Structures are given as C-alpha cells and as structure tokens.
Structure 1
Amino acid sequence: MNPDNKTLPSDDELYNDYLKGKQEAGDKLMLRYGDALTSYLFYFIGDYHDAEDLMLDSFAAILVRKPKIGAGCFKAYLFKTARHKACRLWRKKLKQSEFSLPDDIISEEASPEKKTVIDENISSLHKCLNLIPTQYREALWLKYAMDLSYDQAAQIMACSKKKIDNLLSNGKKTLRKELEREGITRYEI
C-alpha cells in the first residue's frame, strides 16, 4: 500500500497480509470488526459475556485455520462463522435469543420528557421484535443495524439473496403490525 495514500487497507489486503505472516494485520481486522461482531452476537444470543467469547472464538477460528476467503467476503465469512458458533451455544444452553437495544441510543442532550418517550418507544420496539419470528428479527438486524448488504446477510444466514429480500419484507410487515398493536404509528422501517 502506498504510504502517501490515506485510505485504509481493505479487508482483503489485511487478510492476505495476515496470511503472509503479518500478525498486526489480524489485529487490525479484530479492531475493525470486533465491536460490531460482539454487538451482533449480543443481540443474537442476549448475553454480553458469551458474545465477547464467541467474537474471540470466531476470529480465532479464522486466524488459526486460515481458510481461503473470496475477495470482498471477509466480513460475511466472519459473521457467518460467528452465527454458527452462536447457534451451537444456543442449542447447548437451550436458550432463546433475546433482542435488546443499547442504552446509548438515547442522546445525552435529550430532555427528560424526550428520554421518557424514547425509552417507551425502545421498550415497545424491543417487545415487538421479540414477538416476530427469529429469522425476520435476524434479517432486520443484519440489514439495518449492522448495515450489511443483501449478499452479506444471505451469506451469514446461509440462504439466498431472494430469501433475505422476502425475510426483510415480511419482517417489516410483521413488525409494523406488532408496533401498531402497541399503539406506535410513527416509525421508519
């Protein structure tokens, strides 16, 4: 990479550098995706400590095994690996996933009244998300919270791009109905 170029190295460049023995490239990938992956796993399984452990296990699985990963697919491969590990943990604990929203969504500058309204809306959204099927919830999370493409979400969920489109469409419809039952009519989904 050109030292004068201020752009960050791509995932492919970092992973290839790691495969060539540059340990710091693996560290950079962990810094780039560690928090996002932990958040995804937390929302998928509902336990922060398990999410952190699974994040580390997922990176370890890739960085130790050093699988061949297609160009532009590192993030999707990482999240798919993490999803498989979370599913195994889920089965092991026989625990349903719990979807929750972080407290830091609420702005520090919001008035107490606005914070109360936001808290109530987040609580209602949380409740409604837990009422919709898990596949809908996960597809919505991957696309909108994690800002993944349809292709990346499809790779992670081990399904076709068309199925992701259907899951998102049906998930939004189902979520809208649940939100309306809760009395929330202003939403952007």
Structure 2
Amino acid sequence: MRTDETLYELYWQGEEKAADELVLRHGDILTLYINGYLKDMHEAEDLMIETFALMFARRRPVSGEGSFRAYLYRTARNLAGKTKKKHRILHIGLETLPFEIPSGELPEAGLFNSERNSQLYMALEKLKKEYQEALYLVYFEDMSYREAGKVLGKSESQVTNLVHRGKKSLREILGKEGFEYYDD
C-alpha cells in the first residue's frame, strides 16, 4: 500500500486518482474530527472538503511518514478554529477508553453502557481543551506523540505531558463520579 506522502507526491506529478485515494482514506475520520469542534456535521463536511482543497491547491511540505496526516489535521484544526471562535469538546468514540464501573452497580449491560458513556462525556467536558485534543489525537486517531505535536503546534514532550495530565484529570473526575479508571 502506498503511503499518504507518496500519494500526495503522485498527485503533484499529475495522478489525480492519488487525491481521490487520500480523500477516501482520511475524509470520514477528518470530518468527525472537525465535527468535534463545530458540533455541526454539515459544516464539518464542508470544512473537510475545504481542508483537502487547500492541500491540493498549493503544495505543502510533507516529507517523512505521518507528515501528510499531521499537516492535514493541522489545516483542519486551523480552519475549524477560524470558523468557530469558541470550541466545544471533542465527541469521541468512548468505548476504547480504559475505565470500568465498580461491579454490581448496574446489572443490565445496556443500561451500564448508556450510563458509562453519559458519565464519560460529562467528564470529558470538564477537561481542559488542550487535554481533550491531545487525548483524541493520540488515542482515537492513533497518532504518535510527535504527529500529534505537529497538529497541535507542540513538541513531543509537551504532548506527552498533555496526555499524562489529561488522563490524570480524567481519572480524578471519574473517581468523583464513582467510576474506577485503570490504565493498562
């Protein structure tokens, strides 16, 4: 499979199908990422298209594995920031966060999942924006700390600290709500 950076270079060499493949690879996830800022799926879709348009309108400096994706997300983040001055929390897939409720509190799995997700959303709303973003990029976009740093305009060690502090804050908030947070 060709890397994003290879496809981007092929696009600039005249292979327009390379652009289509990049949009297929990243379009849906990028839309969800933008929607986390805007809370408006239609506007997020428009900004996703605008993000790719910017990437394909002028050649960007992408070299090294992961640099295309980092540049793409940074561009999307900047557009979303310009579109909405006051950001809200990122709504992310919560099933993958490592936490559990003390046993025996909710007997039905469906009720448990609903309550768990509700409590986790409320806990995430209480986190600082920078913690939310770092956790989202690292855990849900599967970016390395270095890639997330490129998106956030921070160093790898700064992202490491943000993730650590974000998890610690989330653990404290969930503890106050009666949840047990564990870290594998």
TM-score, normalised on structure 1?
Answer: 0.85
Q: What aligned pairs does 1:96-175 form with structure 2 within 5 A after superposition?
A: 96-101=87-92, 113-175=108-170
* 2:5 paired residue among 12, 16, 32: 12
Distance, in Å, in 1 between the alignment partners of 2:164 and 2:95 is: 28
Are 1:89 and 2:80 counterparts? no
2:61 equivalent in structure 1 = 68
Per the TM alignment, residue 68 of structure 1 is displaced from its structure 2 partner at its CA by: 2.8
* 2:178 paired residue among 171, 179, 183: 183
Q: Which runs of 5 or more residues in structure 2 are unaligned?
A: 97-106
Distance, in Å, in 1 between the alignment partners of 2:157 and 2:71 is: 19
Which is bigger in relative contact order (C-alpha 8 A, separation at least 6)?
2
Per the TM alignment, residue 82 of structure 1 is displaced from its structure 2 partner at its CA by: 0.5
> Cα RMSD over matched residues?
2.0
Q: Which runs of 5 or more residues in structure 1 are unaligned?
A: 1-7, 106-111
Per the TM alignment, residue 41 of structure 1 is displaced from its structure 2 partner at its CA by: 1.3
SS in 2 for 1:159: coil
Distance, in Å, in 2 between the alignment partners of 1:42 and 1:169 is: 25
Distance, in Å, in 2 between the alignment partners of 1:163 and 1:79 is: 18
Distance, in Å, in 2 between the alignment partners of 1:102 and 1:47 is: 17
Distance, in Å, in 1 between the alignment partners of 2:68 and 2:28 is: 16
Per the TM alignment, residue 99 of structure 1 is displaced from its structure 2 partner at its CA by: 2.9
TM-score, normalised on structure 2?
Answer: 0.87
Per the TM alignment, residue 76 of structure 1 is displaced from its structure 2 partner at its CA by: 0.4
1:48-105: CA deviation from partner (whole Å, max 9, x where unpaired): 12211111111000011122322221010100110111111122xxx33133245998
- Using the aligned pairs only, state the percent identity: 36
* 1:151 maps to amino acid: R
Structure 1 range deviating more: 64-73 or 21-30:
64-73
Q: What aligned pairs does 1:13-92 form with structure 2 within 5 A after superposition?
A: 13-72=6-65, 73-91=67-85
Asked if the contact 2:90/2:136 (under 8 Å) is kept, the reply is: no
Asked if the contact 2:89/2:124 (under 8 Å) is kept, the reply is: no
Distance, in Å, in 2 between the alignment partners of 1:103 and 1:132 is: 15
Per the TM alignment, residue 40 of structure 1 is displaced from its structure 2 partner at its CA by: 1.3
Aligned residues: 173
Distance, in Å, in 2 between the alignment partners of 1:168 and 1:187 is: 15
**1:166 to 1:103, Cα distance in 2 relative to 1, 3 A:** closer
Asked if the contact 1:99/1:126 (under 8 Å) is kept, the reply is: no
* 1:158 maps to amino acid: G
